[in-house]
Amino acid sequence: MEEMEEELKCPVCGSFYREPIILPCSHNLCQACARNILVQTPESESPQSRRASGSGVSDYDYLDLDKMSLYSEADSGYGSYGGFASAPTTPCQKSPNGVRVFPPAMPPPATHLSPALAPVPRNSCITCPQCHRSLILDDRGLRGFPKNRVLEGVIDRYQQSKAAALKCQLCEKAPKEATVMCEQCDVFYCDPCRLRCHPPRGPLAKHRLVPPAQGRVSRRLSPRKVSTCTDHELENHSMYCVQCKMPVCYQCLEEGKHSSHEVKALGAMWKLHKSQLSQALNGLSDRAKEAKEFLVQLRNMVQQIQENSVEFEACLVAQCDALIDALNRRKAQLLARVNKEHEHKLKVVRDQISHCTVKLRQTTGLMEYCLEVIKENDPSGFLQISDALIRRVHLTEDQWGKGTLTPRMTTDFDLSLDNSPLLQSIHQLDFVQVKASSPVPATPILQLEECCTHNNSATLSWKQPPLSTVPADGYILELDDGNGGQFREVYVGKETMCTVDGLHFNSTYNARVKAFNKTGVSPYSKTLVLQTSEDTDSEEQTLPFPVPSERLPLRRMSPFSSTLNLQPSFPGRSYFDFRSSPHQLSLHSSLQSLNAPGCNFETQSAPYSQLGKYNYLAWFAFDPGSAHSDIILSNDNLTVTCSSYDDRVVLGKTGFSKGVHYWELTVDRYDNHPDPAFGVARMDVMKDVMLGKDDKAWAMYVDNNRSWFMHNNSHTNRTEGGITKGATIGVLLDLNRKNLTFFINDEQQGPIAFDNVEGLFFPAVSLNRNVQVSTLPLRLNSCCWLPVQRTPRAVQSNRKEGS
């Protein structure tokens, strides 16, 4: 249960809730904390003074007290805190748990009354510290908010389950152990806080102080407080108002504002809501189970990463050690070569030394012998040996002169080691990131049942193969020139449908498409042969489609225009009937062209005429694939309702990116005054909130009295006039002028709702179980629109001009 503790703490004081109250935004506050963050609105800024002075009121009307119910979240009365005059002068603080709160403009007066009974300044405003929605209090003050007795009970059980010693509830930093508990104040005190905050004098002297353990037991044994009505404090809740979603007493049903509302038994609704909460918890439990499994997966990944890191580190060390071993082996080899050269040089020099030493000894001996011979005085004896000695001396001298005194070996080593390539390789040594190259996308498939031709326009549709796992970043559509010439690109983008206008009449075109991604381009699809109409004035053409190429010889026409104009799809209402046979598919088109004189919307002036918007009727069915799971579709996806009390969103199948489009919806059922929303949205709009709550939708939400425009949770332009059963809501999307306009029962509702709207939009509706709407199949006698038996397929798409 420790994980639940943050749910039990006040966002202002950071402690467990004490006497919590429920704000209209469903968040909770301590009653004392709620009083501490009250802000007093200047008298001149109050709604009453504005109405008295007759000055204009903003779209929020300071919560519009005449319209607003304290317990209704569907009203547009909530505004941001910055809308009050006192906001800029009020410094912003943070509570202990980090939530931004707004302190009071002036300190509250000293009083011994409880926060609920203390007087509240006039025109007081309270701002939720969590969602920052603001609310002006009425004469009841904080007593107008219901007490959250369930939260009190949960906190009591949670605190009783804590085995640790009871702590003081007033210590600011490190709470000390409580020594007493006041039964009247229901607060645990330590000795310093008791002397400071609960002195034994005055009215506090009569309070009974008991030990903390006895106080815990008395808390546990104290009877549960009986829930009383906030409007009639002496009455207990006995019934449940379905419209206001709150318990009420019998006086509220007889004389209060709930007298005309639908009510049900309190016990029955208690069981129903418990069942609904249990069902919701089942889904949340599944998500929590998945989250736990995901955490286990992440923890296993941590362990696996550590193991892989150790393994990879060992592999890296082994690789580096192998390089070091190889270098050491090469070092030993090179050193061996150096030693060999060294030994060779020494041997040569030593041999030469030995040879020269022997030769020098012989020469020296000969020289000494000759000197001794010269000393002899016997001429005849000298002459007998002198010739031989002279020859020996000359021979010995010649032997020394033939390079004998030149070294046979140099002292230098004629070796040089070039290590620069190896050093460069070591410096460049790095990890190689091995990534498997992603394949190109699969070949697109042309959807023959959705391709068509009308007059000199052609609409083509394609898709990825069902079993394709490689995503495509976009597609390239190519057409030839209608005369057997080269193919050229006419569209590049992410859409899977494109309409090409401006083709030649009575001509045959070949079309093909391919997909691409970052890796490359897929092969081309099969070539599709298109045949345009023969007569521009014919109202209806029935063409075999696709047309076999052998049955349609190419006809040479006037030169094909170098530019294909990619215009919006036909600005009118289209019906298509597909009929299949074993040999071919036929397309029946009963679309009237609205480009004739008198039907051009650009020639009309604003505001739109009653007939003008009908020239641009768009037809669509609701899309079950993108709808919320609570949405219920029927009547071939033309009628929609919901199984939930909360608002859910459903989109139409048709997307609009250019041109002017108008559609209508009829309210088949309208119970308990809900506020459905109608408008346009992106494909990725949030499906579990009211339309317009995020930045992906532009909508008008309306009840039985008035309407508001809403985008990105911003409410504007409140307009009187609501809806009932049988009402008709019209939506006019003018993408030429980039604006959006709404109609109720053929009357424009307010000004132009939104400007600067551009992109791809889908018709959208949000509703709950109290509403059912249907697309309205309007027909005009002045136009030749023919009904068909099957649901049509819309061919509106986002298209791009190209050559």
pLDDT tens, position by position, 116-167: 455 666 667 888 888 888 888 777 778 778 888 888 888 877 777 664 567 8
The model's confidence at residue 273, banded by pLDDT at 50, 70 and 90, is: confident
101 contacts: CB under 8 Å, gap ≥ 6: 11, 12, 37, 92, 93, 94, 95, 129
CA pair distance 242, 762, nearest whole angstrom: 33
Task: Count other C-beta atoms under 10 Å from residue 511's C-beta.
Answer: 24
Name the 3-class secondary structure at 380: helix
The answer to whether 468 and 530 have CB atoms below 8 angstroms apart is no
- Tally of residues, the chain: 803
**Residue 802 clears pLDDT 90, i.e. is over it:** no
- Any idea which of 95-99, 505-509, 526-530, 598-602 has the lowest mean pLDDT? 598-602
CA pair distance 716, 710, nearest whole angstrom: 6
In this prediction, residues 165-175 reach a mean pLDDT of 83
662 contacts: CB under 8 Å, gap ≥ 6: 613, 614, 616, 617, 618, 730, 731, 732, 733
In this prediction, residues 389-416 reach a mean pLDDT of 84
| Locus of tokens 């006809």 | 555
pLDDT of residue 606: 37
The answer to whether 160 and 138 have CB atoms below 8 angstroms apart is no
Of 9 and 228, which is predicted with more confidence?
9
pLDDT digits (tens, 9 = 90+) for 657-684: 888 888 999 999 999 889 999 999 998 8
Q: Which CATH architecture has domain 169-217?
A: 2-Layer Sandwich (3.30)
The per-residue b/e assignment along 250-261, b for 16 or more CB within 10 angstroms, e otherwise, is bbbbeebebeeb
**Residue 444 clears pLDDT 90, i.e. is over it:** yes
pLDDT of residue 619: 74
pLDDT of residue 777: 57
CA pair distance 216, 169, nearest whole angstrom: 13
Start-to-end Cα distance in the chain: 66
CA pair distance 653, 627, nearest whole angstrom: 10
In this prediction, residues 511-530 reach a mean pLDDT of 91
The rounded percent of the chain whose pLDDT value lies above 90 is 27
The per-residue b/e assignment along 177-202, b for 16 or more CB within 10 angstroms, e otherwise, is ebbbbbeebebbbbeebbeeebeeee
CATH value of 445-531 in 2.30.250.10, 2.60.40.10, 3.40.50.970, 1.10.1130.10: 2.60.40.10
Q: Which two tokens stand for residue 386?
A: 């002198």
The model's confidence at residue 779, banded by pLDDT at 50, 70 and 90, is: very low
pLDDT of residue 682: 92
Among the listed residues 8, 252, 24, the one whose alpha carbon sits nearest the alpha carbon of residue 137: 24
Quick one: CA dihedral 288, 289, 292, 294, positive or negative?
negative
The per-residue b/e assignment along 423-439, b for 16 or more CB within 10 angstroms, e otherwise, is eeeeeeeeeeeeeeeee
pLDDT of residue 216: 62
Name the 3-class secondary structure at 374: helix
Q: Give CATH for domain 1-41+119-164.
A: 3.30.40.10
pLDDT digits (tens, 9 = 90+) for 326-384: 999 999 999 999 999 899 999 999 998 998 999 899 999 999 989 988 988 888 888 88
**Residue 764 clears pLDDT 90, i.e. is over it:** yes
pLDDT of residue 708: 93
Q: How many CA atoms lie within 13 A of 302 on its CB side?
A: 5
The DSSP bridge pattern shows strands 697-702 and 771-775 to be unpaired
In this prediction, residues 7-20 reach a mean pLDDT of 87
List strand residue ranges (DSSP E) for 359-407, in order: none
CA pair distance 460, 526, nearest whole angstrom: 13
**Residue 54 clears pLDDT 80, i.e. is over it:** no
Q: Give one DSSP letter per residue of 217-279, joined into a string.
A: HHHHHSPPPPPB-SSSTTSB--EEETTTTEEE-HHHHHTSTTTTS-EEEHHHHHHHHHHHHHH
Q: Which two tokens stand for residue 607?
A: 């505001």
The model's confidence at residue 424, banded by pLDDT at 50, 70 and 90, is: confident
In this prediction, residues 695-701 reach a mean pLDDT of 94
CA pair distance 30, 11, nearest whole angstrom: 9
3-class SS letters over 615-649: HHECCCCECCCCCCCCEEEECCCCEEEECCCCCEE
pLDDT of residue 723: 93
The answer to whether 195 and 105 have CB atoms below 8 angstroms apart is no
The domain made up of 612-775 has a fold known as Jelly Rolls (2.60.120)
List strand residue ranges (DSSP E) for 654-713, in order: 660-670, 677-681, 697-702, 706-711
The answer to whether 197 and 134 have CB atoms below 8 angstroms apart is no
Q: Give one DSSP letter per residue of 352-368, joined into a string.
A: HHHHHHHHHHHHHHHHH
pLDDT of residue 773: 94
Name the 3-class secondary structure at 94: strand
What are the residue ranges spanned by the domains of the chain?
1-41+119-164, 169-217, 237-261, 273-401, 445-531, 612-775
pLDDT of residue 165: 64
**Residue 549 clears pLDDT 80, i.e. is over it:** no
The model's confidence at residue 792, banded by pLDDT at 50, 70 and 90, is: very low
pLDDT digits (tens, 9 = 90+) for 275-303: 888 888 888 888 888 888 899 989 999 99
In this prediction, residues 553-566 reach a mean pLDDT of 30
The answer to whether 529 and 546 have CB atoms below 8 angstroms apart is yes
pLDDT digits (tens, 9 = 90+) for 383-397: 889 899 899 998 888
pLDDT of residue 422: 87
In this prediction, residues 449-461 reach a mean pLDDT of 86
pLDDT digits (tens, 9 = 90+) for 597-629: 333 333 233 344 444 555 567 778 899 988 999
**Residue 226 clears pLDDT 80, i.e. is over it:** no
The answer to whether 680 and 672 have CB atoms below 8 angstroms apart is no
In this prediction, residues 313-319 reach a mean pLDDT of 91
Of 193 and 166, which is predicted with more confidence?
193
In this prediction, residues 521-541 reach a mean pLDDT of 73
In this prediction, residues 576-600 reach a mean pLDDT of 30
Quick one: CA dihedral 101, 105, 111, 114, positive or negative?
negative
pLDDT of residue 581: 30
At 705, which amino acid appears?
N
The per-residue b/e assignment along 558-585, b for 16 or more CB within 10 angstroms, e otherwise, is eebeeebebbbbbbbbbbbbbeeeeeee
**Average per-residue pLDDT for the chain:** 75
Q: Which two tokens stand for residue 733?
A: 């999307």
Among the listed residues 691, 689, 718, the one whose alpha carbon sits nearest the alpha carbon of residue 706: 718
